[in-house]
Structure 1
């Protein structure tokens, strides 16, 4: 068994597809250290020569997405000469779709990154998140696709930014002990979803936050922000508020931001589906 490998990721675009695939696959191998060599935007023979030199110097498996047939053939022949495994990761999916659709692929690199309507929607969503983070821009919340609520440091902001990268306008509003939620939440224009977290995990995150801002000398007994009983009461109050208003909650304790965002999207889509059903003529009220 190998406990260390050099993995080469060769792409004629940004390489994000390969990065995500490699990350997902490598996570399944415990005790294996993978040094990833990323080679993005490889579109000429000169650029490919650098890649081949790098592979020869630190040999290892090669994953690639190259649409130029000559570059692809050269890379495959080179790997074969060195006895290295290689995979064109998009081939199985493209072959299946080609057969099903009955049309040839365009063969143009980076087409998923063109500046189309979807691209500008993602940029617009990113600007929206910046303007509506942590309860800001209350007047613009009417434009939100989803509203996240939760106590401080419950992953609201990073989740919103991940959603923005999917073109979703996500506002987030903090639930602060002793402070009434903003009036906009009395009749929210979009689904409201609460984020919660285990008390011990939240305290550790907040302690780290205090250390980062130079407040490590604050004693927990004197600071409700990290006091165990105060934090438990804060989380309980947030859960009760969400339950009273019928807002679903997502426990982020053991979830990655990607997993949290996926669950939020599912809940958001279910909310909009119910709205569409309720708005149909003849729907019961």
Structure 2
């Protein structure tokens, strides 16, 4: 199997997430000419061409002799794209690895849609990235079909490491829905928290600009502490909470208002919705 730097990569879809991964790959030394992007929108193709990679409007052309095919199209059109590929790959001796970042599309659906006429099925990996990948600070969850080898997983790890600081492999596909509820949707939870922090501080007299800068840096610094410290979140919280101090007063308010229950219900709601979308999209 070729290394990532010698592999031919095809991206089907040239949106924000695909763009982030491609920029990360190129910045990590993957040759531009090894990346082929299929994208129907001219504006997105021009952005990809500006990076120096090859572009086309044809999924079949982009994925023709690729070693790795990244499906980065909208979930609603994934079936059509996969079936287009399966027909085109009928004469290929070796099928590529498929990495799908199409949210909610199950492994069973992907395998069914890409199966060739003679019954062969490409090895498939599902990935749930998150939007911090756009600034190369992503967190991804991954799940592989049983036939994916350890070597192929390492190749996917290397692919994702261009934009993700951590990739967690789960052993049950349903856990990707939990990953969606945690890290996939998670950035929005923090943005919502910052919105309210800024609004509260502004109401108490700080300018919106000052409050936003302070809140943003506080989140960045706290996140860095969480990543780099050997302490778990509980201990880090305790470290900054003096008995009967200001932080203690704030946390007591959170507790009285059911903060833990709110977070629990929110993550469960996102997880359940991810499962519902997977079920409905698989029946398209």
Identify whether the pair has TM-score above 0.5, normalized to the shorter chain.
no
Structure ID, larger Rg: 1
Task: Indicate the structure whose relative CO is greater, using CA pairs within 8 Å and at least 6 residues apart.
Answer: 2
Q: What is the TM-score of this pair, normalised by structure 2?
A: 0.29
